A and B are shown apart, each in its own frame.
Chain A
Amino acid sequence: MTTRIVELRQGILKKNDELARGLRDRYTAAGVLVLNLVSSPGTGKTAFLERTLRELLARGFRAAALVGDLETDNDARRLAASGAPVRQINTHGICHLDAEMIDRHLLGWEGVELGGLDYLFIENVGNLVCPSSYDLGEKIRVALLSVTEGEDKPLKYPTLFNSADAAVLTKIDIAEPCGFDRDLALKNINEIRPGIRIFETSSKTGAGMDAWLGYLEDQREVRG
């Protein structure tokens, strides 16, 4: 018997990465800007997205959302109230969305064609660890952080915050009673992802939404 080393040099998530690349090409060809929203459970992703969808529709844009949860279609029903097409993805215990789930749910989505959209939002499963490894073909990954969560979240979950293209602080209307240290939170985000665009928002009062919507419009132009 002799021993032999077989070189592989292959990504463990190669299958997902290849699917994600295919999705990215499709999004680009269709001219739709795709965003992946990631945060802990309870940060307010759904409320933020509901407000975003409503305001985009009011401005004449065509927007839709895919929403991931372990179980229930509660979020899809909440989001559908905005008037935008919404499709629920139930992962049944899996802690993140992957490219295959996105691919499968884009198929046969009644009344929705990628080419007929300006924006597609993907609301990931509430989890600050696993979603960071799975490329969904998105152009922009958005990390959300609420004022109730503690300013050191970016330091505790550097993998996710470092892979984000934009950060959104949510629930700023209750920052004061929560004793939220804004400067420290912004500093921590910047330590992990220097120079990242940060939006300070309240889905309840609408604070900060204009800047966020302006960014969304700019990103569409930037990307042709």
Chain B
Amino acid sequence: MHELSIVASVVDTVTESLAAYPGARVLEVRLRVGVLTSVVVDSLEFCWGIATEATPLAGSKLVVTMIPVVMHCAQCQADVALEGVQSFRCPRCGQPCTDLREGRELDIEAFEIDEIDEKVKA
């Protein structure tokens, strides 16, 4: 995939949001990545150090939560998580499923900052 451009986009977005927190240092950035995106987590982590260098995100940790594929099974009338991406069938009843509910996420969930404590400063 294009992990470096994904990471660069994350760095840009977080940097923009940081404008509201002057002087803050980023400790951690949390992503949610669906298994159906073909994004390689190792590559994201490999690019992270390079992409954050000389930015307010330098030294921060990247935390990626992988989201399994969840389909809605019309037969079972339920959302079911698939074990892999080699067969889009309900693991309970074996029926083919076409209604995808989760697994394509490519989101920045949140980031954690260290900010100057107003009370201490006063």
Contact = CB atoms under 8 A, between A and B. Distances in A.
A4 interface: yes
Contact of B89 (A10, A129, A163, A191): A191
A11 B107 contact: yes
B109 interface: yes
A28 to B, nearest CB: 23
A133 B24 CA distance: 32
Given A129-B38, A159-B37, A195-B96, A8 B1 contact: no
A5 interface: yes
Interface stretch (B45-53, B54-62, B112-120): B112-120
Interface in A110-150: 129-130, 132-133
A92 interface: no
B89 A6 contact: no
Given A6-B17, A12-B31, A130 B110 contact: no
B108 interface: yes
Contact of A10 (B100, B108, B114): B108
B13 A10 contact: yes
Main secondary structure of the interface of B (DSSP, over half): mixed
Contacts of B98: 193-195
A41 B6 CA distance: 23
Given A162-B100, A195-B96, A13 B9 contact: yes
Interface of A: 1-15, 94-96, 129-130, 132-133, 155, 157-159, 162-163, 190-195
Interface residues of B, number: 38
Interface in B84-113: 85-89, 96-98, 100, 104, 106-113
Main secondary structure of the interface of A (DSSP, over half): mixed
A47 B36 CA distance: 30
Given A8-B109, A159-B36, A190 B96 contact: yes
B107 to A, nearest CB: 6
Nearest to A191: B87
Contacts of B27: 3
Contact of A194 (B13, B17, B96): B96
A158 B71 CA distance: 15
B13 A4 contact: no
A159 B113 CA distance: 34
Contacts of B88: 162, 191-194
B86 A130 contact: no
Contacts of B116: 1
B114 to A, nearest CB: 5
A77 B85 CA distance: 39
Given A12-B31, A191-B87, A1 B13 contact: no
A6 B111 contact: yes
By Cβ-Cβ distance, the 10 closest A-B pairs, closest first, are A194-B96, A158-B85, A159-B38, A8-B108, A7-B110, A191-B87, A12-B106, A2-B117, A1-B114, A159-B36
Nearest to B97: A194
Residue among B14, B17, B88, B111 with the highest chain A CB neighbour number at 10 A: B88
Interface in B11-38: 13-14, 17, 21, 24, 27, 31, 36-38
